[in-house]
Structure 1
Amino acid sequence: MKFNSPEDIIQLTPLWEGERLPDGRPKVSDDILRRMRKITLEEAWGPLWHRGYTFQFEGDFKIIHPDKVMVGRAVTAVMVPKRPDLHETMMKIGHEQEGRKGYYNQWVIDSLVEDDVAVVDMFDKVHLGTYVGGNLSTAISTRTKRGGAVIWGGIRDNQQVVNIDNINVYYRGSDPTAIADVVMVGMNVPARIGKAICLPGDVVLGTPSGVIFIPPHLAELTVVQAEKSQVRDIFGFIRLKEGAYTTAQIDASWNTALWQDFLDWFNSDGAAAEYRHLTWEAELEEAARQERQGPQNDVRL
């Protein structure tokens, strides 16, 4: 057995075809992470739900900075209640075979790099289950720059952690006790966080409503669909205020005339400037196809 095995991580994430980090995790691009910070939870949820990824969201958290969005690449850890023989075995693997220092939570945090988020299944343990406090949260801040942690368990030193502005922490509860009586049985393995599942390299999007784990091979698609929804909404709000269309027209599948009006606006209006990396050929082809087939009653969701 090995903690944080690149070979195992690559086997777990075969649908990812892009660049990988040295530990084998999918490396979703910095540009996608930047754009992800501008989308809403619901915009991220929709593309996943409709592709069968129905266990990616968990909302039952306390949040250190509830008004801030957190985005990063997942580094996962799975903890279980302490069993002496298992604890001794895992400590030997970490200390003697892999040269790690300190306790399990330090092993994970020492592995973090820029834009990482620690995602920890602590089996909802709060008393004697505080995964981070002031020191380790400061280490997360230093290593990840703008990442953070999602902990299905506890934290301590809240008054110190809340003063760390560049990261966020999602957690189940607070307690003054230190972490104890646990064993880490996996690092960068599938982790259950409440009702959700997270794999190493998933894009973690933390919002005021909770956290969603986005599979890396769907990250770009999710961002693009969210951005297209955003800019279409901007156009729709403008045209509705002008009285140019009814809500039924805006909410239904657009015909080619409405699409042409949108594209004329999209290519010239300053409100659409940040979205001009998007392309619309597929949407235009679909509108033309529907017109050839006759009137349709489907509504854009």
Structure 2
Amino acid sequence: MTDYILSDETRTKLKTVSTASIATALYKRGLRKQFIQDVVPVSPKKENMVGQAFTLRYIPAREDRNPITVFRNPDHPQRVAIEECPPGHVLVMDARKDARAATAGSILLTRLALRGAAGVVSDGGFRDAEGIGALDMPAYYAKPSAPTNLTLHEALDLNVPISCGDAPVFPGDVVVGDGDGVIVIPAHLADEIAEECSGMEAFEAFVLEEVKAGAPIIGLYPCTKEENQKKFDAWRAKTGR
């Protein structure tokens, strides 16, 4: 758990920052495993997914505990997660990297979207992927999967530390998703990572312009020549970035 509250300023910065830049910034701090492996967007979105993590942990389903009738239980953790994930948060599900059964479908995730969630991530499958992709809310998964989660997974714990795609996720961590995938920023680092990466994005935009204009990489990326630093400073002054 964390007392950290994601500010509008940090959220706005992270909306324009790539997961690649965040991964580099985290690597500088010794963190190598924060990118969630093997999840992809259900459909492309115009801006990043950004929100604090609200977690759901699945375990392997035991047949006597998971008949279809368990969904009649008003306390079923999967259903409760949909109703308790706070607005502006990202529901992150640990399905043990097993996409053979769905961890959610379009009805549940439509409800989650209408409640104001910032997104959803599962290292398992989703059913009704076409309907989920049509939502404005970003969604990330391993792949489509028709069978109900009960055939393989039992939803067990809410808002506890989990693993999602081999990345450690603690409740309240800041989750960012773009076209490449999803990365998890430890809550206590979120503000400084957002600030640092905003500058990195500006520099990389400058570098790309220089490369397209024919500039060589050596001495430019990384910037080890003073002349390139001066060019970058002038570019920032001109562009306001």
Give, in angstroms, the shift of residue 43 of structure 1.
0.5
Q: How far does residue 198 in structure 1 lie from its aligned partner after superposition?
A: 1.1
Offset, 1:200: 1.0
Q: Distance in 1 between matches of 2:91 and 2:229?
A: 43
Is 1:118 equivalent to 2:91 in the alignment? yes
Residue of structure 2 aligned with 1:223, choices 194, 197, 216:
194
Does the aligned pair in 2 maintain the 1:64–1:169 contact within 8 Å? yes
Out of 177, 195, 198, the position equivalent to 2:147 is 177
Question: Between Structure 1 and Structure 2, how many residues are aligned?
Answer: 234
Preserved CA contact (<8 Å) 1:112 1:144? no
| Long gaps (5+) in structure 2 | none
Q: For 1:238 and 1:103, how far apart are their aligned partners in 2? A: 53
What does 1:160-171 align with in structure 2 at a 5 Å threshold?
Answer: 160-164=131-135, 166-171=136-141
2:16 aligned residue: 38
Greater gyration radius: 1
Q: Offset at 1:103?
A: 2.0
Q: Provide the TM-score with structure 1 as the length reference.
A: 0.66
* CA spacing shift, 1:41–1:139, aligned 2, 3 Å: same
Shift of 1:155: 1.3
Distance in 1, matches of 2:97 and 2:219, equals 48
Mapping for residues 1-301 of structure 1, pairs under 5 Å: 9-10=1-2, 20=3, 26-66=4-44, 68=46, 69-83=48-62, 101-127=74-100, 129-144=101-116, 147-164=118-135, 166-180=136-150, 182-235=153-206, 248-250=218-220, 251-253=222-224, 255=226, 262-263=232-233, 266-267=236-237, 269=238, 271-272=239-240, 275=241
CA–CA distance in structure 1, aligned partners of residues 58 and 179 of structure 2: 26
With the length of structure 2 as denominator, give the TM-score of the two structures: 0.81
TM-aligned CA distance change 1:238 to 1:151, over 3 Å: closer
Shift of 1:259: 5.4
* Aligned partners of 1:117 and 1:144 also within 8 Å: no
Question: 3-state DSSP class of the match of 1:80?
Answer: strand
Q: Which has the higher contact order (CA 8 A, sep 6+)?
A: 2
CA contact (8 A) 1:72 1:204 kept: yes
Residue 261 of structure 1 and its aligned partner are, at CA, apart by 6.2
Superposed CA deviations along residues 70-122 of structure 1, whole A, max 9, x for unmatched, are: 222111111112348988xxx9xxxxxxxx93422111111122221111111
CA distance in structure 2 between the partners assigned to 1:63 and 1:241 by the alignment: 29
Distance 1:155 1:102, change over 3 A: farther
The one-character-per-residue Cα deviations of 1:223-259 (angstroms, maximum 9, x if unpaired) are 222221232344556677889x97544343454x865
Distance 1:179 1:236, change over 3 A: closer
Question: Given residue 175 of structure 2, which amino acid in structure 1 is its aligned partner?
Answer: V
Identity, in percent, stands at 25
Match for 2:174: what amino acid? Answer: V
What is the one-letter code of the residue matched to 2:148?
A
Contact 2:38 2:123 in 1 (8 A): no
Deviation string for 1:113-155 (max 9, x for gaps)? 222111111123444x32211211111111225x221112121
Answer yes or no: is the 8 Å Cα contact 2:50–2:174 preserved in 1.
yes
* Distance in 1 of aligned mates of 2:144 and 2:213: 51
